[in-house]
């Protein structure tokens, strides 16, 4: 998954990739989501200079992260073939559960892990008044 906007709108924060080849300073990958779907791209190593430190230093890193799972917030705008929802902890709001369930085209491709087959419906009444 891409961690920062590199080449909008093709390579934006949250774009999913399949890595084809790892080289010392370049990664060759195929875009799996978004408008550049199925395009091959090369991602170079970039300098990162932290600004919240009392001294200056620079490190080189790739702006991607291996992800086996995604938060519900990162799922917004994504389309998936199969989705699994881990609901041992209840969702923060109604909208999060809706987003988690609506990323898949067919209900038979949604798998939910919830204790006793139920999850708690959280409503913050303070926010509604």
SS3 of 30, please? strand
Residue scoring higher pLDDT (2 or 91): 2
The pLDDT, as a whole number, for residue 39 is 95
pLDDT digits (tens, 9 = 90+) for 68-104: 777 777 777 777 888 888 888 777 666 777 887 888 8
Residue 129: pLDDT band by 50, 70, 90 thresholds? low
Tell me the domain boundaries of the chain.
1-67, 72-128
| Average pLDDT along the chain | 84
Report CA 106 to chain centroid distance, whole Å. 21
pLDDT digits (tens, 9 = 90+) for 8-62: 888 988 888 999 999 999 999 999 888 888 999 999 999 988 888 898 899 999 9
Q: Taking the model in full, what pTM does it have?
A: 0.60
The pLDDT, as a whole number, for residue 124 is 72
Distances (CA, A) of 111 to 3, 70, 75, 117: 27, 15, 15, 11
Q: Name residues whose C-beta falls within 8 Å of residue 2's C-beta, 6 or more positions apart in sequence.
A: 11, 12, 13, 14, 15, 17, 43, 63, 64
Closest CA to 12 of 25, 23, 127, 37: 37
The pLDDT, as a whole number, for residue 13 is 87
The pLDDT, as a whole number, for residue 51 is 87
Pairwise CA distance, residues 53 & 106, whole Å: 48
Contact 103, 75 (CB under 8 A): yes
The pLDDT, as a whole number, for residue 94 is 65
The pLDDT, as a whole number, for residue 116 is 83
């Amino acid at each position: 998954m891409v961690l920062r906007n590199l080449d909008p709108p093709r390579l934006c924060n949250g774009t999913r990739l399949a890595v084809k080849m790892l080289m010392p300073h370049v990664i060759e990958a195929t875009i799996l989501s978004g408008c550049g779907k199925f395009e091959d791209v090369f991602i170079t190593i970039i300098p990162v200079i932290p600004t919240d430190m009392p001294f200056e230093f620079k490190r080189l890193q790739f702006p991607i992260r291996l992800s086996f799972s995604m938060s519900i917030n990162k799922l917004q705008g994504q389309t998936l073939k199969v989705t699994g929802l881990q609901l041992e902890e209840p969702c923060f709001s109604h909208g999060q559960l809706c987003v988690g369930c609506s990323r898949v085209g067919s209900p038979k491709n949604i798998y939910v892990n919830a204790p006793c087959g139920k999850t708690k419906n959280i409503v913050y009444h303070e926010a509604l008044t």
